[in-house]
Amino acid sequence: MNTEMNSTAASNDLTLVLAGTGKIGRRIVARLAERGIPTRVGSRSGTPSFDWDDREGWDAALDGVATAYVSYVPDLAVPGATDAIRVFVEKAKRHCVRRLVLLSGRGEEEAQACERIVQASGLEWTVIRASWFDQNFSEGEFLGMVRSGAITLPAGDIPEPFVDVNDIADVAVAALTEDRHTGEIYEVSGPRLLTFADVAEELSHATGREIRYIDIPHEAFTDGLRQSGAPEEMVWLLGYLFSTVLDGRNASVSDGVQRALGREPADFSDFARRIAATDVWKAAA
């Protein structure tokens, strides 16, 4: 999908949404389209295309852009992300981009190094820090586990304030379109802490069938990922998230959604009931 509007629009009138077909990006694109805001979807399949691994295409993607939502794939923590963000910011400045909204990682030191690059750019900026998404269990890495009835992960009993990506998208759209968010760092979370065992219980209640949480050793988890054919970059990232970020550093709720939007964030149980009403979590045959 490409919602870029007519080519006669004024110069630097576009909003660029990187990872525009992903969990958060496609929601941002839809919300901007509803408001009639000229939008360019930044993705490999977009026109022009955007690929973090192909810098030659970045200028075309930035042409005519006034504001940009910046989501580095797969994560700002991976090696090379800092250099990529630095180059992207310099190109954005040359194209007279006015505002950047950066999706960052809560509790990730590497991500915060990228934040500092954006903050020092001289452009208007907003940072949104998030960690584990509710939608990882319905659209992402853990969907198959939910369908199979066993969430098998090396998460121990560490609690996490899982956040709904719809809330992240709402904060991002506000930051892209409203001046009052300039210079703000929004740490976004859900309203309460849940362990992965608590998540399994919530999902069991919502679906009406047993979904268990099984804690496994970290090495067994990463070995299983490799054996499944997962790319080494994803193996590294998930290993990093479970061994480093999920160590209790994010075991507190934050007020980013409330500060940005003036409302409470969605609860995991609301998310679970909503998805359970669809066929997404239908048990694996």
- pLDDT tens digits, one per residue of 53-99: 999 999 999 999 999 999 999 999 999 999 999 999 999 999 999 99
Among candidate residues 131, 129, 139, the one with its CA nearest the CA of residue 274: 139
- Of the chain, the percentage scoring pLDDT greater than 70 comes to 96
pLDDT band at 10 (very low <50, low <70, confident <90, very high): very low
Per-residue model confidence (pLDDT) at position 284: 74
Which residue is associated with the tokens 């399994």?
200
Residue 8 predicted with pLDDT over 50: no
Average pLDDT of the residues in 172-195: 98
Per-residue model confidence (pLDDT) at position 233: 87
Which residues fall within 8 angstroms of residue 215, CB to CB, at 6 or more apart? 153, 154, 155, 156, 157, 196
- Cβ neighbour number for residue 179 with a 10 Å cutoff: 8
pLDDT band at 5 (very low <50, low <70, confident <90, very high): very low
Per-residue model confidence (pLDDT) at position 283: 86
Contact 77, 111 (CB under 8 A): yes
Q: What is the pLDDT of residues 144-174, one digit of tens each?
A: 999 999 999 999 999 999 999 999 999 999 9
Q: What is the pLDDT of residues 195-237, one digit of tens each?
A: 999 999 999 999 999 999 999 999 999 999 999 898 888 899 9
**Which stretches within 23-80 are classed as H helix?**
25-34, 58-62
Dist. CA 4–CA 277, nearest whole Å: 33
Per-residue model confidence (pLDDT) at position 6: 34
Q: What is the pLDDT of residues 114-154, one digit of tens each?
A: 999 999 999 999 999 999 999 999 998 899 999 999 999 99
Structure tokens belonging to residue 272: 């679970």
Which of these CATH numbers, 3.90.550.10, 3.40.50.720, 3.40.50.1980, 3.10.129.10, describes 14-131+164-189+251-266? 3.40.50.720
